[in-house]
């Protein structure tokens, strides 16, 4: 399991990987079921479940979106037409 990833912009500064509990907490903040949240962020239900169960880890745009959602879930929900 990776504990840190390279920042895609600088390729130097580490970016800590989101943990399964982090992904679930973000979804709970948005008061979404797994199905609703997966649809909202544009991933399959199986992908979201994999993240929440620790079998897979979000990367790239998905990780960026989840990080923004963690800081301001209402803004993300509104931007994605769910708020």
| pLDDT at residue number 47 | 97
| pLDDT at residue number 74 | 87
DSSP state of 17: P
- The pTM is what? 0.77
Could you give all domains of the chain from N- to C-terminal order, each with its CATH number? 18-79 (1.10.260.40)
**pLDDT tens digits, 39-80:** 989 999 999 999 999 999 998 999 999 999 999 988 888 998
Q: How confident is residue 83, by pLDDT bands cut at 50, 70 and 90? A: low
- Mean pLDDT, all residues of the chain: 84
| pLDDT at residue number 20 | 95
23-26, long-range: CB < 8 A, 24+ apart: 23/48, 23/51, 23/52, 23/58, 23/66, 24/52, 25/70, 26/66, 26/69, 26/70, 26/73
Residue that has been written with the tokens 């895609």 in this structure: 8
Which residues touch 4 (CB under 8 Å, ≥6 apart)?
Answer: 14, 15, 16, 17
């Amino acid at each position: 399991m990776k504990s840190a990833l390279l920042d895609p912009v600088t390729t130097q500064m580490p970016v800590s990987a989101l943990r399964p509990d982090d992904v679930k907490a973000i979804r709970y903040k948005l008061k979404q079921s797994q199905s609703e949240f997966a649809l909202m962020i544009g991933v399959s239900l199986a992908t979201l479940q994999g993240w929440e169960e620790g079998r897979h880890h979000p990367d790239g745009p998905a990780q960026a979106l989840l990080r923004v959602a963690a800081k301001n879930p209402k803004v993300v929900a509104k931007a994605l037409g769910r708020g």
